[in-house]
A and B are shown apart, each in its own frame.
Chain A
Amino acid sequence: DADVTQTPRNRITKTGKRIMLECSQTKGHDRMYWYRQDPGLGLRLIYYSFDVKDINKGEISDGYSVSRQAQAKFSLSLESAIPNQTALYFCATSDFPGGATDTQYFGPGTRLTVL
């Protein structure tokens, strides 16, 4: 079984709809991250969480919110989806102590299309 899972794997929705992407991990890591990937670009950080009580904005947080329900679960919400949020979304985890040596392990990705 995969250590980091994401649901759904694919989603097509309409402009203005609320969407939630979910991430679960069995690696026992404290740190979780949400990234988006656009064609021809690398990954950009949306939000990250170092524990259940710690949520931080990343480079491109506008239009997104997150919830860390438990150490193993981190969800990403689009309150009112718009077409330029069409992208591949990745959840990632990493272990304490983090810092420069912090290797992140990624889920399989969720392909979101907003019409």
Chain B
Amino acid sequence: AQKITQTQPGMFVQEKEAVTLDCTYDTSDPSYGLFWYKQPSSGEMIFLIYQGSYDQQNATEGRYSLNFQKARKSANLVISASQLGDSAMYFCAMREGLVNDMRFGAGTRLTVKP
């Protein structure tokens, strides 16, 4: 079964606007971590933000925030004030407490329009 689902293959956003990238996950482990990575066209994987299953507040890192809805098993990434340099693939990933690997979603390609 798919552990991480990203239902938006591609998204467009106007420069300076906010955008939400969706991610839902599936786990029965009470301890897990959720991660977002950015992959620009150059190919590297850049860590953006982390949310722990026991964290009470949504994670934020600069213009990135994670809208964590535990009951709905969703961990959407919100990018505020989009910039042209935000155009990239974005991957959601999950690591379960007793599992040694990290599972990735298929990714969402974000294009920021000027």
Interface residues of A (CB under 8 A from B): 33, 40-45, 48, 50, 56, 58-59, 88, 90, 92, 99-109, 111
Given A58-B101, A100-B31, residue A109 in contact with residue B4 (CB < 8 A): no
Give the residues in chain B near A109, CB-CB below 8 Å. Answer: 43-45
Asked if B68 is at the interface (CB within 8 A of a chain A CB), the reply is no
Q: Shortest CB–CB separation between residue B62 and chain A, in angstroms?
A: 16
B96 surroundings in chain A (CB, below 8 A)? 100
A31 to chain B, nearest CB (A): 9
Smallest CB gap from A46: residue in B: B101
Q: Which of B11-19, B46-54, B80-88 contacts A (4 or more CB under 8 A)?
A: B46-54
Count of A-B contacts with CB under 8 A? 70
Residues from chain B with a CB closer than 8 A to the CB of A88 are 43
- Cα of A67 to Cα of B32 in the assembled complex, Å: 29
Q: A100-B53, A106-B45, A111-B43 are contacts. A43–B33 as well, Cβ < 8 Å?
A: no
Return chain B residues, CB-CB under 8 Å to A92.
45
> What residues of chain B have their CB less than 8 Å away from a CB belonging to chain A?
4, 29, 31-33, 35, 37, 42-47, 50, 52-53, 91, 93, 95-97, 100-107
Residue contact B50 to A103, C-beta cutoff 8 Å? yes
Q: Which residues of B contact A45 (CB under 8 A)?
A: 101-102
B105→A42 contact, CB < 8 A: yes
A90 touches B45 (CB 8 A): yes
Given contacts A45-B101, A100-B33, A100-B97, contact A40 B45 (CB under 8 A): no
B residues near A107, Cβ cutoff 8 Å: 44
- Give, as a whole number of angstroms, the nearest-CB distance from B88 to chain A: 14
Pick the contact of A100: B44, B91, B95 (CB < 8 A). Answer: B95
Tell me the bound Cα distance from A88 to B41 in angstroms: 13
Kindly list 7 other residue pairs between chains A and B, CB separation below 8 angstroms, not including A42-B91, A105-B47. Answer: A42-B106, A43-B102, A99-B31, A100-B31, A100-B32, A100-B33, A111-B43
Taking CB atoms, residues of chain A closer than 8 Å to B97 are 99-100
- A107 CA / B96 CA spacing, docked (Å): 23
* Docked CA distance A108–B43 (Å): 7
CB-defined contacts of A101 to chain B, threshold 8 Å: 33, 50, 52
